[in-house]
């Protein structure tokens, strides 16, 4: 893994979920990758412990997990007196999630993710987090939620700053 | 050598090339391969097949001795994800 000097101290995170990916119990897999500037600093790939009935729900759970990690990193940077842009960027590939985080719309299907929802929304409302849409093809966290083909895997490794020794 | 946390900081040669540092656990990885007798195995380009799925109910369950061995190997693999985020998903999968 390569770590290079980077002029940017922006915290950016990529979050992805593979909805109902497990063929045994149909639980989803979520993953995120957090970058500081251009360097990868934190990542996670795990199977979600609860069932979700829509992809937006499981994507939202992944975002809430990524947000918690970003919050931790933002606090750490503040403690170390590192100047970093106030708002971290979070990239996700589900449009529903972006709208949900910007608008206080509620309906029956999102009620049970209220806690995750308010948690992320609060950060967005405070201006500490920007959620942006990214196409699935450019999603860096893709390889943390599913098995990739050789070509995509190569790309994935490249995006994570991994090099061959 | 900071082998205790299984991290070898590669710098002298790479600093000039990349203006950065390279975190590598190649010694840990090759030791692990040696311990399971796989050091002469052919490498593959992707860790997990994209077309086939691992399921709970297929195949025969491992015996108690094999189970312990399996767990110790996948447990050791988890430490390798420290510098190999690309295999995080696969390692997580085989640990389920």
pLDDT digits (tens, 9 = 90+) for B30-85: 889 999 898 888 888 888 887 777 777 888 888 888 899 999 999 999 998 888 88
Does B84 contact chain A (CB < 8 Å)?
Answer: yes
B48 close contact with A: CB closer than 8 A: yes
Q: Using one digit for the tens of pLDDT, what is the confidence trace for A114-131?
A: 777 788 888 888 889 988
A5/chain B closest Cα distance in angstroms: 6
* CA neighbor of A115 nearest in space, from A34, A42, A57, A48: A57
Q: Which residues of A touch B49 (CB under 8 A)?
A: 147
Considering Cα of B52, then B54, then B57, then B60, what sign does the dihedral take? positive
User: A146, B50: Cβ pair inside 8 Å?
Assistant: yes
Rama region for B10: left / alpha / beta (φ>0; ψ in -120 to 50; rest) = beta
**Residues A41, A160: Cα–Cα separation, whole Å:** 10
Residue A70, pLDDT score: 93
Q: Does A13 touch chain B (CB under 8 A)?
A: no
Question: Which of A23, A145, A160 is nearest residue B85 as measured by Cβ atoms?
Answer: A160
- Of A95-99, A136-140, A157-161, B86-90, where does mean pLDDT reach its minimum? A95-99
For B43-58, how does the pLDDT look when each residue is reduced to its tens digit (9 = 90+)? 888 888 877 777 778 8
How far is residue A119's CA from residue A32's CA, in Å, rounded to a whole number? 17
Binning pLDDT at 50, 70 and 90, where does residue A105 land?
low
Q: How large is the average pLDDT for residues A15-37?
A: 86
Closest CA to A39 of A21, A57, A13: A13
Arithmetic mean of pLDDT over chain A: 85
pLDDT at B14: 47
More confident call, A56 vs A103: A56
Percentage of the residues of chain B whose pLDDT score is greater than 90: 14
- Inter-chain contact B22–A2, Cβ cutoff 8 Å? yes
pLDDT confidence band for A80 (50 / 70 / 90):
very high
Cross-chain residue pair A146–B24, CB shorter than 8 Å: no
């Amino acid at each position: 893994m390569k770590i290079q000097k980077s002029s940017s101290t922006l915290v950016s995170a990529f979050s992805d979920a593979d909805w109902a990916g497990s063929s045994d119990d149909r639980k989803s897999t979520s993953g995120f990758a957090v970058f500081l500037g251009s360097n990868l600093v934190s990542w996670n790939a795990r199977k979600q412990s609860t069932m979700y009935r829509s992809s937006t729900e499981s994507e939202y759970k992944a975002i809430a997990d990524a947000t918690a990690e970003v919050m931790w990193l933002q606090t750490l940077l503040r403690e170390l007196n590192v100047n970093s842009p106030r708002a971290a960027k979070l990239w996700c590939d589900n449009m529903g999630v972006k709208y949900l985080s910007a608008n206080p719309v509620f309906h029956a299907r999102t009620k049970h993710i209220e806690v995750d929802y308010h948690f992320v929304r609060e950060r967005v409302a405070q201006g500490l987090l920007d959620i942006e849409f990214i196409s699935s093809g450019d999603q860096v966290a893709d390889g943390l939620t599913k098995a990739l083909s050789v070509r995509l895997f190569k790309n994935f490794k490249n995006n994570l700053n991994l090099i061959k020794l | 050598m900071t082998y205790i946390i299984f991290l070898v900081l590669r710098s002298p040669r790479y600093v000039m090339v990349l203006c950065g540092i390279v975190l590598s656990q190649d010694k840990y990885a090759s030791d692990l391969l040696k311990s399971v007798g796989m050091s002469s195995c052919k490498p593959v380009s992707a860790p997990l097949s994209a077309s086939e799925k691992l399921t709970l109910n297929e195949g025969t369950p491992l015996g108690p001795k094999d189970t312990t061995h399996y767990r110790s190997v996948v447990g050791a693999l988890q430490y390798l994800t420290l510098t190999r985020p690309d295999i995080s998903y696969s390692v997580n999968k085989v640990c389920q």
